[in-house]
Amino acid sequence: MFMGVDHVGVAVKNLDEAVGVYRDILGFNLVGVHVLTERKVKVAFLSSGGETQIELLEPLGIDSPIAKFLENRGEGIHHVAVKVDDIEKALEELKKKGVMLVDEKPRKGVEGKKIAFVHPKSTKGVLLELVME
């Protein structure tokens, strides 16, 4: 069902400043920046040189889920995203096993990808994102 870690999401207060740290100081390559208005986040993807990217997420507005996360936990790892070959089937299988889902149906991610989140209550505290290309 899973095909590797697609990216690790990191919540940040200021995207430009965080890109500066990850690109200019740490040495990751900036792949793209996207504004996701319906999810109220601005994200930047950075390449690690391999299959797994880093996604930096800045909240757009105080009602953004990332704003709530920053308020409670501060900056840091927000989610881990794994690739799946069939996201509908993956959600169905997980639901059958009693896994708590944030999204019962996939929603639109960046660049036409389909994504869905699995609740941290079912994953030992890790918000898990499923991604299908």
Cross-strand pairs, 128:
80, 118
Chosen residue from 55, 56, 70, 87 binding Co ion by CB under 5 A: 55
Q: Are 30 and 44 in contact (CB under 8 A)?
A: yes
C-alpha atoms less than 13 angstroms from C-alpha of 125 in its C-beta half-sphere: 2
Closest-CA residue to 22 (of 39, 43, 1, 51): 43
| Sheet (strand 29-36) strand order | 29-36, 41-47, 53-59, 2-11, 76-84, 128-132, 114-118, 107-108
The interface with Co ion within residues 19-48 (CB under 5 A) comprises: none
Report if residue 81 touches Co ion, rule: CB under 5 A: yes
Site size toward Co ion (CB under 5 A) is: 4
> Which CB atom, from 59 or from 96, has the smaller least distance to Co ion?
59
> Which CB atom, from 78 or from 94, has the smaller least distance to Co ion?
78
The interface with Co ion within residues 92-131 (CB under 5 A) comprises: 129
Report if residue 9 touches Co ion, rule: CB under 5 A: yes
Q: How far is the CB of 30 from Co ion (least distance, A)?
A: 16
Cross-strand pairs, 54:
8, 46
> Which CB atom, from 38 or from 98, has the smaller least distance to Co ion?
38
Contact footprint for Co ion (CB under 5 A): 9, 55, 81, 129
